[in-house]
Structure formats: structure tokens, C-alpha cells
Amino acid sequence: METRVTLERAIQIACATPMARVVERATLDDARHRVLATPLASLVDDPRFDNSAMDGFAVRASDCDRSGVRLKIVGTSQTGGETPPPIARAEACRIMTGAPMPEGADAIVMVEDTEVDDEHVIIHGPARTAYIRRRAENLSKGQEALPEGTLLSSASLALAGTMGHGQLELIRRPRIAVLSTGDELVEPGTELQPGQIYESNSHALSSLVEAMGCEATRIDSSNDSMDELRQTLDSLSSYDAILTSGGVSMGDWDLVRRIMEEEGEVAFWRINLRPGGPPLFGTWKGTPVFGLPGNPVSSLVVFHVLVAPWISKSLGYHEDMGPRISDRVSVRLEDDVAGAPGKLCLRRIRIRSHNGELLATTHTHQGSGNMHSMVAHNGLTLLPPDTDGKAGKTIDALWLR
Ligand code: AMP
Ligand code: MG
């Protein structure tokens, strides 16, 4: 077991035990917010044929050299309709947006610039070739437009449809169990006895698990008892991964650490991070387990910097196009923020865009038990060990989505 590792080393160790990446077929209807397991190439040209970008008339540009020209209307080109008749000199064809260009036409006059007089159209405005959408100007048949590991959200789903895919190969959503531990924890909404507090970590962690394209199962919290923990972990060993919170520090009651050390396998314990120093990673009967800290801010922060990269790497998510819950950015500090000796320091900051740069401020106290600090802020500093962040300095940060 390694201990007091850097964040990079922790990610590396965890990634040596990835989750299984299972591929399954699904319909486009069942693909929403899922992740592509294979690259997707277009089955068609997009557009499939030259068509009009405007409602109006398809004409020959050379016929429309002055305002007031009269052209004979020879037919209509409708979307989904029959092939329109070809046009000759001094002729025009009515055309709808998206309908195919008739043979012989090389420009469009928009309907607002025309006047119909029985079987003729009088042209008052310009005839533009730019109003024609050319075959394959967006995508050619065979072109790969969606890489493997893409999250199918709104536009990418529509593009899969545009390219003709009714069925897709997707990454099966792994099932991740989220277990909180601690004798003091009770469900929100119930009455508190002396010494009890409301359990909250499992709600945040489950939501982050889902935002990363996985299925979360929130388990009622376990007491600080070796027997209960053993039983609960055993009952969860068929999941693809287990996230616990609490019980991984140095105290006598930190039983997640103890049971993992005595009866499971621990690959590392403790990371040089503030907040979020005590996490462990290992396996319980072969199932990957992240033992996250109990302090509410710490558990979320460690998910962002450790668990999310592990999920992405395990499942082969695309770096830009896959599910992600934060973006790495450069921000200019407007307030001083203290770093930490020997540790990567993740202070909470509020990031906003101002005059073309990202500025960062702090608003609440930074205690690792203060969940309000995660709501009042939307980012985390990435201050290297032994480095304070001075107002005016530009630093790396994570912008949380
Ligand atoms: P622990 O790591 O178990 O020592 O917990 C550290 C602190 O976080 C203690 O104050 C706990 O009461 C609190 N805590 C642990 N788990 C949770 C949880 N699931 N929800 C809210 N607070 C928690
Ligand atoms: Mg505890």
C-alpha cells in the first residue's frame, strides 16, 4: 500500500483497476445522455442534395440582372415532393426551404423580394447563389463526425439522427453504489436526536455519479460497526464500484479504513490534498472501492479530482466530448487565497467572466464541513504545494459545471 501520494499518483494507481467497459446496442430513443462506444460515421451526404435555404423562387441568375424582370412559373419544388421540373431561360420554379434545386436553376430569390402575377413572378430583389445549400457541404458520406466516447446530449443526438443512425453502440452505464458511514447520520426529514446530523454526502455523490454517465444507487448509511460494514460491503460487491464516505481518517472510529486494511485490499491511503487528504482506494472482493472523506466538502472535491478522472479513463470517455463535471481554466484572483504546505490546495472560488478574462473571488469561509461554500462558489483553485494565491495572480483552477 502506498500512502501520502500526489493526486497524479493516486489517479494512476486507481486507473490500474478500471471498471469494466461493456458495450451494448440501443436505439436512438434510448441513447439520451449516454456515451458512444464506437465512432459514428455518416451514412449519407449532408445535405443529401442541393437545396434552397429560403422560401422563394429558383431562377437563373443571368435572367435577373435588373429589378422588375418577369419570369414564367413552371412548377413547384416542395420538401419531400417529386423531382421539380427543370427551368429554362426566363423561367422560375417556386421553392420551399429545404426543397431540391430544379435542374437549370443556379440561384434563389427570396419570396419577400417577389410579386406573383398569375403565372408569372416579378423579381424585385437579388438572385443569390449563397441561398443554395450544396450537397455534402456539412458532411460527406463516410465522414466520422462523432468520436468514440462522445456524450450524446442534444446536438450530438440530433447529429446521430442526421447521419442516419437508428441504432448505436453505447457504453453500458456502470452501476455505482454510494454508501455513507457514521453513527451520527440520519436521513433528512426525520427528527434529530442529540448528537445526530443529517446525512448529505450521498446525495451529492449520487448526482455526480449520474452526471458522469453512470447509474447511482444510494444506500442507507451504515453505522460505525465492523460487522455492519462487512455485511453492507458484501451486499454491494456485485456493483461495478463502491463509493463510501466517512471513516477513512486516523481516528479509532474510522472503520472503513480499518476494514479495508484488514479484510479488503488497499492500494493507497491519503493524498497530498487540502481539503480531501484522507481518501483510500482499493478493492472489496474484487470490486473497486473509493473511501472518500466524511467532511462534506472534502468528499465532493475528491470526487471531482480523483473519481471523475477514474470514471473517464475506465470507460474511455472522449476528453472534450465525453461526460465531464469541470473544466480546467486559468483565472485571475481578486482575493488572496492561502495555499497549503506540501499539498495541492483546492480552495473554493467564484469564477466569472469579465472583459474577456476569468476572475475569481471568495465569499464564505473555507471549512471542509461548510457545504454552503460549494454552493456559493463554482470553482476550485489548483494551487501547487507551498504556493499562496495572491490577489492579481493568474492561477489554474477547475470551473465546476
Ligand atoms: P469522518 O470522516 O467519518 O470522521 O467524518 C468527518 C466529518 O464529516 C464528521 O463531522 C461527520 O459527521 C461528517 N460526515 C461524515 N459523513 C457525512 C455524511 N454522509 N453527510 C454529512 N456529513 C458527514
Ligand atoms: Mg465518521
Residue whose C-alpha cell reads 453505447 in the numeric block: 170
pLDDT of residue 345: 98
Q: 289: which strand partners? A: 242, 282
pTM over 0.85: yes
pLDDT of residue 329: 98
Closest ligand 1 atom to residue 369 Cα is 8
Separation in Å, CA 375 to CA 179, 322, 366, 371, 398: 22, 24, 12, 7, 15
Which of 120-124, 234-238, 248-252, 328-332 is predicted with the least confidence, judged by mean pLDDT? 248-252
Confirm if 183 and 353 have CB atoms less than 8 A apart.
Answer: no
Q: What is the mean pLDDT of residues 80-102?
A: 97
- The kind and range of the H/E element at 399 are strand 394-400
Residues 6+ apart with CB under 8 A from 87: 58, 59, 60, 74, 93, 102, 103, 104, 105
Closest ligand 1 atom to residue 200 Cα is 20
pLDDT of residue 44: 98
What pLDDT, in 10s, does the model give residues 202-216? Answer: 999 999 999 999 999
Residues 6+ apart with CB under 8 A from 369: 295, 296, 297
DSSP H helices in 153-282: 154-162, 201-211, 226-235, 255-263
pLDDT of residue 347: 97
Ligand 1 pocket, CB under 6 A? 180, 182, 184-185, 197, 199-202, 245-247, 249, 293-296, 369
Closest ligand 1 atom to residue 181 Cα is 16
199, 245, 248, 255: residue to mutate for ligand 1 pocket, most atoms within 8 A of CB? 245
Q: What is the mean pLDDT of residues 323-344?
A: 97
Instruction: State the cell numbers at 241.
Output: 464500484
pLDDT of residue 338: 96
What pLDDT, in 10s, does the model give residues 182-199? Answer: 999 999 999 999 999 999
What pLDDT, in 10s, does the model give residues 1-46? Answer: 999 999 999 999 999 999 999 999 999 999 999 999 999 999 999 9
Q: What is the mean pLDDT of the chain?
A: 97
